[in-house]
Amino acid sequence: MTPIVALEGIGKSYEGPRGERTVALTDVSFAIHEQEFVSLIGPSGCGKSTILNVVAGLLPPTSGNVLIAGNVPQAALDARKIGVVFQDAVLLPWKTVVENAGFLLMIAGRLDAAGEARVDALLQMVGLAEFRHHYPHQLSGGMRQRLSIARALALDPLLLLMDEPFGALDEFTRHRMNVELLDIWSATRKTVVFVTHNIAEAVYMSDRVIAMSPRPGRVVDDFRIDLPRPRTKEVRYTREFNDCVVHLQRLLERDEDTTP
Amino acid sequence: MTAGTQQTFGLSGMQALRVALFVGLLLVAWQLLSDHFRMPVYLLPSPLAIGKSLVADYPIYAKHALATLTEIVIGFTTGVTTGVLLAIAMSRSQTIANALHVPILATQAMPTIAIAPILIIWFGVGLAPKVIVITIFSFFPVLVNTLAGLQATGDQMVKLMRSVAATEWQIYRYIRIPMALPHFFSGVRLAAAASVIGAVVVEWVSSDRGLGYLLILHESRLNTDKAFATLVILICLSITIFALTAAAERRLSWTKRLGLS
| pLDDT per residue as tens digits for the range B76-87 | 999 999 999 999
Q: Is A260 helix (H, G, I), strand (E, B) or coil?
A: coil
CB contacts, 8 Å: B184 with chain A? none
Q: What is residue B11's predicted lDDT score, i.e. its pLDDT?
A: 63
Q: How many Å apart are CA A128 and CA A122, to the nearest integer?
A: 9
CA distance B170 to chain A (A): 7
Which residues of chain A fall short of a pLDDT of 50?
Answer: none
Helix (H, G, I), strand (E, B) or coil at A10: strand
Look at residue A49 in the predicted model and tell me its pLDDT.
87
CA distance A124 to chain B (A): 23
Our CA-based measurement puts residue A57 at a distance from the nearest CA of chain B, in whole angstroms, of 8
pLDDT at B176: 93
Determine the average pLDDT of the residues in B33-46: 84
pLDDT of residue B202: 86
pLDDT higher than 50, residue B53? yes
Three-state DSSP at A162 gives strand
Q: Establish whether this prediction's ipTM goes over 0.85.
A: yes
Which chain B residue has its CA at the smallest distance from A135's CA? B258
- Residue B10 pLDDT: 57
Q: How confident is the model at residue B3 (pLDDT cuts 50, 70, 90)?
A: very low
- 159-198 of B, contacting A, C-beta below 8 A: 159-166, 170, 174-175, 178
Q: What's the gap in Å between the CA of B176 and the closest CA on chain A?
A: 11
Q: Is A89 helix (H, G, I), strand (E, B) or coil?
A: coil
What per-residue confidence (pLDDT) applies to A152? 93
pTM attached to this predicted model:
0.81
Inter-chain residue contact B258 with A94, CB threshold 8 Å: yes
Q: Is B198 exposed, middle or buried (0-12, 13-18, 19+ CB in 10 A)?
A: buried
Q: What pLDDT was estimated at residue B4?
A: 42
Nearest of A150, A162, A146 to residue A195 by alpha carbon: A162
User: In which band, very low, low, confident or very high, does the pLDDT at B125 lie, cut at 50, 70 and 90?
Assistant: confident
A80: left (phi over 0), alpha (psi -120 to 50) or beta: left
* Residue B201 touches chain A, beta carbons under 8 Å: no
Residue A88, chain B, CB below 8 Å: the answer is: yes
Question: What's the pLDDT score for residue B7?
Answer: 47
Residue A107 in contact with partner chain B when CB distance is under 8 A: yes
How many other C-beta atoms can be found within 10 angstroms of the C-beta atom of residue B219? 14
Q: Model confidence at B9, in pLDDT bands (50, 70, 90)?
A: low
Q: Which are the contacts of A171, defined by CB distance < 8 A and separation ≥ 6?
A: none
Which residue, among A55, A91, A107, would best test binding to B if mutated, counting the most B CBs under 10 Å from its CB?
Answer: A107
Q: What distance in Å separates the CA atoms of residue B105 and residue A42, rounded to the nearest whole number?
A: 47
The verdict on A236 touching B (C-beta cutoff 8 Å) is no
- Among B167, B10, B121, CA closest to A80: B167
CB A104 within 8 A of CB A155: yes
DSSP state of A229: S
Q: What is the pLDDT of residues B200-246, one digit of tens each?
A: 988 888 778 899 999 999 888 888 888 999 999 999 999 999 889 98
Which residues is A12 bridged to in the sheet? A25
> What average pLDDT does range B52-73 have in this prediction?
92
Handedness of CA A201, A205, A209, A212 (dihedral sign): negative
User: 3-state secondary structure string, chain B?
Assistant: CHHHHHHCCCCCHHHHHHHHHHHHHHHHHHHHHHHHCCCCCCCCCCHHHHHHHHHHCHHHHHHHHHHHHHHHHHHHHHHHHHHHHHHHHHHHCHHHHHHHHHHHHHHHHCCHHHHHHHHHHHHCCCHHHHHHHHHHHHHHHHHHHHHHHHCCCCHHHHHHHHHCCCCHHHHHHHHHHHHHHHHHHHHHHHHHHHHHHHHHHHHHHCCCCCHHHHHHHHHHCCCHHHHHHHHHHHHHHHHHHHHHHHHHHHHHCHHHHCCCC
CB contacts of A108 in chain B (<8 Å) are 164-165
The DSSP code for A255 is H
CA distance B142 to B135: 11
Residues of B within 8 A of A94 (CB-CB) are 178, 254, 257-258
Mean residue pLDDT of chain B comes to: 88
Q: What's the CA gap between B198 and B192, in Å, rounded?
A: 10
Q: B187 pLDDT exceeds 50?
A: yes
CB atoms B154 and A88 under 8 Å: yes
Please choose, from the candidates B147, B155, B135, B138, the residue with its C-alpha nearest in 3D space to the C-alpha of residue B90.
Answer: B147
Paired strand residues for A208: A38, A224
Q: How far apart are CA A48 and CA A52, in angstroms?
A: 7
Residue B8: per-residue pLDDT: 46
How far is the C-alpha of B99 from the C-alpha of B91, rounded, in Å? 13
**Beta-ladder partners of A163:** A195
Tens-digit pLDDT profile for residues A2-40: 889 999 999 998 888 888 888 888 899 999 999 999 999
Amino acid identity for residue B28 in this structure: V
